[in-house]
Amino acid sequence: MILYLNGQYVPREQALIPVEDRGFIFGDGIYEGVRSVGGKMFEWAAHAARMDNGLKGLRINFNRAQIDALEAVCERVVKENELVDGEAFLYLEVSRGAAPRAHNFPPASVQPTVFVSASKLVVPRKMRDEGCSAVTFPDMRWKRRDWKTVNLLGNVLARQAAYEAGAYEAILHEDGIVTEGAATNCFAVFDGVLRTHPLTQRILPGITRIVVMELIAEFKMPLLEEPIPFAQLAQADEIFVCGSTTDITPVVTLDGTKIGSGKPGPMTVKLRDAFEARLYQAAGAGR
């Protein structure tokens, strides 16, 4: 595997990061997960904008032009790993860099650490088509979830709870409302109306969520961007989660309870099919 690290394309075993890197010591960094189809980055501009917002929020000295240049880096990493003909997942991280451990920022002369990797993505078609199971879990993350930071311990504990329950995703709740999934955004349908948490500091502005919202508007589906009461979630007619590697995945059981008919609902299926058409058409590739 060939990785990109601080301007160099190197084999994985040669990609070394100092132990004092602030991403390792403090989780002081921003990351992105980008979908590649046929060697092209899906919705790159939206990923770049989100990364820029997070880096500005953390005050890491890495500007928009440097972010934009990472698109070509991603394309080369895909080629170097012979993933052009299929689908791949790109992981990008920018930390504040390596410096002696101190809670305050290091001197401005310290350069950010920049890392990009690519791995083959195999779409779990059966789960996309038939739906998945999910569990609920308390949302214990920090208060700026709109910045995609590498501080993911709350997400990790939630996903482990899902894994131990034999489920795909953990849907998070806080103060009596549903926020999002541990690695996804969450939508539910009640009486023919889609509902999802509005964009605030409490949820991540998902790139797939952006596309889903555009499709909802295109289809003129009823939508309320309002928090879903946690106590009502299990009574939803449909639930789906979405993300860069999740696409639109129906949730057919929640905490062991059947959702709706126990099969993907009509609104979810329509959006899922439209999303996949856009994903593969954008890349000029077939499913």
The residues assigned a catalytic role are 148
Residues 203/185, Cβ–Cβ less than 8 Å: yes
Give the DSSP per-residue string, 72-106.
HHHHHHHHHTT-TTSEEEEEEEEE--B-S--SSPP
Strands 113-120 and 247-254: unpaired
d(CA 99, CA 133): 43
Residue 114: CB partners within 8 Å, gap ≥ 6?
A: 4, 5, 6, 7, 62, 70, 93, 94
Residues 6+ apart with CB under 8 A from 221: 194, 267, 271
Distance CA 52, CA 29 (A): 12
Query: CB neighbours of 72 closer than 8 A, spacing ≥ 6?
Result: none
> In sequence order, what are the residues at sequence separation of 6 or more whose Cβ sits closer than 8 angstroms to the Cβ of residue 225?
195, 196, 197, 198, 199
Phi, psi of 193 (to 5 degrees): -115, 125
Q: What SS3 class is residue 185?
A: strand
Element (H, E) at 268: helix 266-282
